[in-house]
Structure 1
Amino acid sequence: MSKTLQAIRGMNDILPEQTPLWRYFEGTVASLLDGYGYRQIRMPIVEFTDLFKRSIGEVTDIVEKEMYTFEDRNGDSLTLRPEGTAACVRAVLEHGLSGGGQVQKLWYMGPMFRHERPQKGRYRQFHQIGLEVFNLDGPDIDAELIVLTWRLWKLLGIRDAVTLELNSLGTSEARGRYREALVEFLTAHLDQIDEDSQRRLKTNPLRVLDTKHPETQAVLVNAPKLADYLDDESRVHFEGLKARLDAAGIPYVINPKLVRGLDYYSKTVFEWVTDKLGAQGTVCAGGRYDGLVEQMGGKPTPGVGFAMGIERLILLLETLEQVPESISRQVDVYLCAFGEQAELAGLTLAERLRDQVPGLRLMVNAGAGSFKSQFKKADKSGALYALILGDDELAQQVVGFKPLRGQGEQQNIAWSALADHLATCVVQG
């Protein structure tokens, strides 16, 4: 027997019973971003590998271990995008969107790919919504990104379950001075830190700060503090951000070990974290990357952004039981028709109702069937009401109207009055 076909490990199907929650979440975010003046951009899933090496950094875990990279028929090295910022910057440069100091406030949504060990909340194909802003360098836009996520958490009903963590990495020069001091300190305690941190000490030493290894964490207690190496410009920027968050009433925690995993960050970095999902606690993260556009061949251009993980936020909504009851119902009304003439009339009537009652979710029975079988399908559809159309109803120009989810007797309603009745009891009520 041939091997059963199945999805690749860590790349999951999103089934019909799951997609209503995804659509609700994505629609809520899209509507919110429209209200803040952000415009959507859509980038390819596959990019040249060099894009990520130049932006993320060749010595990061993502580039060294996690990317899905392959050669195409032309011999070009291509990669399934592991994150969205680099691709967005490439698109902005390629199409001249940031030239002349143009302010761009963009957002995107879609799958990302990293070859990691799959676990709950961490997958090899995962989905993100990201925001990127170009040519604004003040703390006001950093604050706006955080403020709009704060509003999103309220809309979703999860505000009490997330915490904002902040840090400032300073400019690249300040970070370079701190890196030297950190390496010198950790080298003197090399025998006390774990193997992974020893490796990172040679490639990306700031990543040692977010280690989970208890012995290394104990060593870091006495390590140099990044805040002591901040330049004046970064310090003023960070104070401006905190002042705006205070004014907006948004609570936060300063986390001096928050460095993010990508080389391109500078100044502001932040994460929204939760303790409701176990080890995978970060649901939204980002920061400022003022040098990235220049690093990728453009003119000096300030940039700031973030990405949120859709799978983790969906999981958080389910964990906190914040899934709106209304989204679980995909059908309002189910039309049962008995006999060929009733089926023909039912098709015409259904289309007329869709014209007359915007927003009505109406399913028409297909495949004929007995009275019992059609009602069984009507009940399984989750519809609130069944419409019944047979020879008697045709003769009287009425439709049987039967509640399926509560009290109420079946009644006959004239075709001419049906649209108003459905608009009142289904769409409005």
Structure 2
Amino acid sequence: MNRSVLIAGGGIAGMAAGFAAARAGWQSSVFERAGAFSEVGAGVQLGPNVTRILQAWGLGDALTQVAAFPSGLHARSMTTGEVFATLPLKDATATYGAPYATLHRADLHGLLWQAASREGVTVISDAVVQKVSQSSDDVVLDVMQHAQWQQHTAAMALAADGVWSPLRQQLLGDGLPSFTGHIAYRALVAQADLPVKFRSQDVSVWMGSQAHVVSYPVRGGEYLNVVCLTEGRLLDSDAHDLQVLQTWNAKKSESQTVAELHYALRGACRPLIDLMAACRDWRLWPLCGRPAMQGPQQHVQGRVALVGDAAHPMLPYLAQGAGMAIEDAHALAEKLLGASAANVPERLQEFASVRWQRNARVQARAIRNGQIFHASGPLRVGRDLGLRLMGSRLMDVPWLYGYRQP
């Protein structure tokens, strides 16, 4: 068996893994169920721990062409607009050796796709991976490809098929993700279409009670990505139906969206209300997840590894979903360097040992951040006071941004 890898899923996790494995000398094939590759119209933040990897992969210049590089992250009160504290993101390169970047998900995906293509990765669309089977020598994917059944054999396979991963269900049988009760309303607006007072090249986080809003520039600063995250019951009666959650990328009527946002942001200050009113074309995503990883077996089963959201879905409160997928790809490639088809299981176990605790820690911190961002009552008072007194010392996370793979 030659050094080959089959990857289920052509999103950010799959493309990053395919590219990284190819750089390590492995023949990579990516299978994507969609008929055409696309990423949703939303933004993504990349901390220095992630941009450092992209630079090491030779993609720093490509990142610079599509990303924005905010100079600060401002923590604000949703009710008064007060700036509690500012984290100076412009210092990231000096502190951590790489910048803090914000960009459109489609631009990050396109950057990785182009890089993968240059490395000779085979990318196949309209290909639904239905089943994985393995022996001591190889792994086989059953794929419905362009309406025809096909089987593909390789030395290893990666499940990069997202939070609802069918391959995870087959391998681990640990049930479906659960709805967190949190909803993200996302909008993308051209800065030129915004009143001057709302245009920004920085990250702002407006913290309230059971809700917060984050905004940051994308596409070189030409657009502003705005996200309102709230918790509790939606106005839709079917919002908690599991089948709805799996496919939901809703664009609602403007009147219904306005009603829901007004409810979520009741008591918010006028500047924030005006910013939200200036945005149109809101999309809704229910946030679904799993408990933090419990052990390496949730990353690897024999010759199959789970990466990205298939292994460790991240809530967005630490802005590390894409980041951990890229870290996974980098760590995997390091273990594949010099590996043979015969010792794939051993190398994958090494990968799992390196990654699972890191991913579990980030998952747990993201959950905790969500509780802090949405704190109510005395906890909210303590949060606001702590930010005023300790400022950026509470907001900086050296263990996250300064991470180097062991």
Question: Which TM-score bucket, shorter chain as reference?
Answer: under 0.3
Q: TM-score normalized by structure 2? A: 0.25
Bigger Rg, structure 1 or 2: 1
Larger RCO, structures 1/2 (Cα 8 Å, 6+ apart): 2
Higher strand share: 2
